[in-house]
Amino acid sequence: MQLHAVQVPVSAPVLVECIFWPEDDAWKGASQELSLSVHGSNFEETKRNMEAALQIYIQSVLHNHKTRQRKRD
């Protein structure tokens, strides 16, 4: 029997400390350690916006890491 490798995406939650606060009839959020900020019309929307911004940020870091690795090879 021949073994086959399988490549599949895996999602891993990463906890990032964020702060959220109401301001001018809206909500704002920030991750100070990653220099990200978001806003929304309510807390739930602002939290979703932060989750999306974190996902984009992490994907960008991984993409840049892969690009640098390819240039070294």
pLDDT tens digits, one per residue of 26-61: 999 999 999 999 999 999 999 999 999 999 999 999
- CA separation for the pair 25, 49 (Å, rounded): 17
pLDDT band at 21 (very low <50, low <70, confident <90, very high): very high
Q: Where are the extended beta strands (E) located within the chain? A: 19-23, 26-31, 36-40
The confidence score (pLDDT) of residue 14 equals 86
